[in-house]
Chain A
Amino acid sequence: DSGVTQTPKHLITATGQRVTLRCSPRSGDLSVYWYQQSLDQGLQFLIQYYNGEERAKGNILERFSAQQFPDLHSELNLSSLELGDSALYFCASSPSTSTDTQYFGPGTRLTVL
């Protein structure tokens, strides 16, 4: 158990809908990363937050957004969902921006029908 929690574990929804994935980092970790794992794209970095502020963006679509709240939990919002958005979404955390090691949560499996 990494100490990173993600909810829900599974999510099934329809095209065009909007969903929110939630992540709670390890106690004391200030930095949160979001990754997408799909069969065709592999594991890709989406976005990073540090202490409430956006720090870096990767291959994140404009339909996707994220935020980190004062209690340091983070949410990833996915809107206008398409079939191709079906994937495993992982959250990872690290103590600071100067730490290499990231600890991953169990992931949220999103299925868009």
Chain B
Amino acid sequence: GDSVTQMEGPVTLSEEAFLTINCTYTATGYPSLFWYVQYPGEGLQLLLKATKADDKGSNKGFEATYRKETTSFHLEKGSVQVSDSAVYFCALSYHPRGSARQLTFGSGTQLTVLP
């Protein structure tokens, strides 16, 4: 079945450091890919998405590019802030014609940014 693999956490960075969180997927077709963020005590918020190969999703300084050849969707940010501390989830949605669009999530990566 479909699956998502994220790099193990936790990740601890200093403010203004470069961030990469790796995500690879397995799917039988061409899924849509997502990054969701969960701040402490809150629900999941959509951070960015990409729906086809070579698409780049971006939001709040975060970027991720849909790479079909490597089945990856790595999350990057050039300069992290303390306020970016959260858990980041990579997810996919694959929906053959007529099927539902439930999300399959990775295990999540805890990011802590120190001042």
A interface residue numbers (CB < 8 A to B)? 2, 4, 33, 35, 42-45, 48, 50, 55-56, 58, 90, 92, 94, 97-107
Classify the interface of chain A: helix, strand, loop or mixed.
Answer: strand
Assembly CA distance A106 to B41 (angstroms): 8
Tell me if B93 is interfacial: C-beta within 8 Å of chain A: yes
The size of the chain B interface, using a CB distance under 8 A, is 23
B interface residue numbers (CB < 8 A to A)? 32, 34, 36, 42-46, 49, 51, 89, 93, 95, 99-108
Contact A55 B100 (CB under 8 A): yes
A90: contacting residue among B32, B43, B49, B106, CB under 8 A: B43
Residues of chain B with a CB closer than 8 A to A56's CB:
99-100, 102
Assembly CA distance A97 to B102 (angstroms): 10
Q: How far is the CB of B80 from chain A (nearest CB, A)?
A: 23
